[in-house]
Amino acid sequence: MNASTGHAQEPSFRESVDLMFNRAVAMMDLPPGLEEKIRVCNATYTVRFGVRLRGQIQTFTGYRSVHSEHMEPVKGGIRYASAVDQDEVEALAALMTYKCALVEAPFGGSKGGLCINPRDYEEHELELITRRFAYELAKRDLIHPSQNVPAPDMGTGEREMAWMADQYARMNTTDINAKACVTGKPLNAGGIAGRVEATGRGVQYALQEFFRHPEDIKMAGLTGKLDGKRVIVQGLGNVGYHAAKFLSEEDGSIITGIIERDGGIFNDDGLDVDAVHKWLGENGGVKGFSGGTYVENGAELLEKDCDILIPAALEGVINLSNAERVTAPLIIEAANGPVTAGADEVLRNKGTVIIPDMYANAGGVTVSYFEWVKNLSHIRFGRMQRRQEESRHQLVIDELERLDDAMGDRWSMTPDFKQKYLRGAGELELVRSGLDDTMRIAYQSMREVWHSRDDVTDLRMAAYLVAIGKVAASYRAKGL
Ligand SMILES: NC(=O)c1ccc[n+]([C@@H]2O[C@H](COP(=O)([O-])OP(=O)(O)OC[C@H]3O[C@@H](n4cnc5c(N)ncnc54)[C@H](O)[C@@H]3O)[C@@H](O)[C@H]2O)c1
């Protein structure tokens, strides 16, 4: 039984991830026992702690699961949601192992969760709860710069990461690397430029890379580029909002549908993503937004005609009860596990191309990796190179100025260009180009397997093969 789909014939989230894993390892030649070692979750810690709120003690339940320690520290977000359970964090921790391997972020996989609806609490209450949860994890090295490094996920963001990092630092006053215990922190608390939007940015870069390959576009039955493509997004939170915003503002895609908790809105001419986001922030739902037609059952929009479907909210939303009716030819899994193993099979049989979660939402952990490195090196990206770059750029500017004189009225260099060029690459530019490179290289590693093996018919299978191969190589090299 799957708790998120409520469908009796569907496996749980963790079983679903395991089924996908099993499908891939069946095609690999791993030594006996190693496949089981990689698949299982090493450990899951459950904690129950009390916090005195509104005059009485409330007890909270939290988890931190460590899937694989073939590389350390292990890494993965902490989510705040009422229905989090052990099965869910173990599934998410496993996905983190494969995701990190695929994008070559040198971490094992982990994930955490706290059973809480954050909207039920005031900010100062959330701070008390978060600090206590962080204390419980940190005293067992489940928050630690070299052991286990959390990050934001559903229901958490920069604010919660800053509280957790501060809690760790208070408990470890002599640890010079304390800031590296958590990523996704605000910029003024040791964060890195571009982390907030990194996962959504990664979804955009993943789609840009997909649309650079005519053969792949054809596999999805599409033509052309991202420009003009009709996109439906589920979940306008951190990941969904940034992906939708960048795709519509920078790639010319048209966001024709947005699905939120309280229903969905659609407009075939396109929705104004920022306006919907503002409305959602002010009203807690999409109902009443004047720029689109509202439907109470938002899940209906998962089935509506579009070119690209971006589930960016929760797991299990495309399952055996609706997969047959999902018409989008291309699905990019911005959320973790939005398509169950059963639905995956239905969609594969229909020829739907799915860009899998472990790749599609890897932008977050990639930029988290940059943040962790920045914290350990104690220097902002780009700061050391600035002087050297400036002198190199000055040579180019001198040449361009000579050209400017020689061209007379036919061409002139704008002062703006000169300023921008001389400033060189700052932290944000370095983060973006590092993320873009990562998303391109990882996509190419999957597509090479996808296109070179007759028995590999989909990108998810290719992603698992690449990722498991890397984890296995790591175990082979250093032993268990
Ligand atoms: N934040 C990250 O950096 C990150 C990184 C990798 C993967 N992810 C994955 O992306 C997904 C979304 O994470 P997020 O950080 O954007 O979370 P978030 O909390 O910022 O946003 C989630 C959004 O989904 C909406 N939502 C919740 N239930 C819904 C439902 N039943 N139908 C429609 N909308 C619903 C919420 O209202 C919210 O707007 C999760 O699966 C998460 O694991 C997040």
Atom of ligand 1 nearest to the CA of 79: 43
Q: Is residue 430 part of a domain?
A: no
Q: Is residue 117 part of a domain?
A: yes
For the chain, the maximum distance between any two Cα atoms, rounded to a whole number of angstroms, is: 79
Q: Is residue 378 part of a domain?
A: no
Q: Are residues 245 and 180 in the same domain?
A: no
Q: Is 69 helix (H, G, I), strand (E, B) or coil?
A: coil
Provide the domain count of the chain: 3
Whether residue 98 contacts residue 108, with contact meaning beta carbons closer than 8 Å, is answered with no
| pLDDT string in tens for the chain (480-residue length) | 455 555 567 899 999 999 999 999 999 999 889 999 999 999 999 999 999 999 999 999 999 999 999 999 999 999 999 999 999 999 999 999 999 999 999 999 999 999 999 999 999 999 999 999 999 999 999 999 999 999 999 999 999 999 999 999 999 999 999 999 999 999 999 999 999 999 999 999 999 999 999 999 999 999 999 999 999 999 999 999 999 999 999 999 999 999 999 999 999 999 999 999 999 999 999 999 999 999 999 999 999 999 999 999 999 999 999 999 999 999 999 999 999 999 999 999 999 999 999 999 999 999 999 999 999 999 988 777 666 666 777 787 788 888 888 888 777 777 767 666 665 568 898 899 999 999 999 999 999 999 999 999 999 999 999 999 999 999 988 877
| For ligand 1, atom 43: residue with the closest CA | 336
Q: Are residues 310 and 408 in the same domain?
A: no
Interface ipTM above 0.90? yes
Determine the structural domain holding residue 339 and report its residue range: 221-351
Q: Are residues 81 and 171 in the same domain?
A: yes
Q: Are residues 52 and 185 in the same domain?
A: yes
Q: Is residue 114 part of a domain?
A: yes
Is the Cα dihedral 346, 446, 338, 110 positive or negative?
A: positive
**Do strands 74-81 and 148-152 pair parallel, antiparallel, or not at all (unpaired)?**
parallel
Q: Are residues 177 and 309 in the same domain?
A: no
Atom of ligand 1 nearest to the CA of 336: 41
Q: Domain containing 118 — which CATH number?
A: 3.40.50.10860
Q: Are residues 236 and 337 in the same domain?
A: yes
Residue 119 CB–ligand 1 contact under 6 Å: no
Output the six-digit token pair for 235.
Answer: 């979940």
**The model's pTM:** 0.92
Q: Are residues 183 and 307 in the same domain?
A: no
Active site residues: 111
Q: Are residues 256 and 180 in the same domain?
A: no
Q: Is residue 53 part of a domain?
A: yes
User: What does each C-alpha distance from 7 to 127, 229, 277, 316, 473 come to in angstroms?
Assistant: 36, 32, 31, 10, 37
Q: Is residue 164 part of a domain?
A: yes
Q: Is 39 helix (H, G, I), strand (E, B) or coil?
A: helix
Q: Domain containing 236 — which CATH number?
A: 3.40.50.720
DSSP per-residue string spanning 144-190: BTTTEEEEE-TT--HHHHHHHHHHHHHH-TT-TTGGGGSSS--GGGT
Q: Is 225 annotated as a binding residue?
A: no
Q: Is residue 369 part of a domain?
A: no
| For ligand 1, atom 2: residue with the closest CA | 153
Q: Are residues 54 and 134 in the same domain?
A: yes
- Single out the residue in 378, 404, 424 at which a domain terminates: 424
Q: Is 238 annotated as a binding residue?
A: yes
Q: Kind and range of the H or E element at 319?
A: none
**CA dihedral of residues 155, 159, 163, 164 (deg, nearest 10):** 50
Atom of ligand 1 nearest to the CA of 338: 41
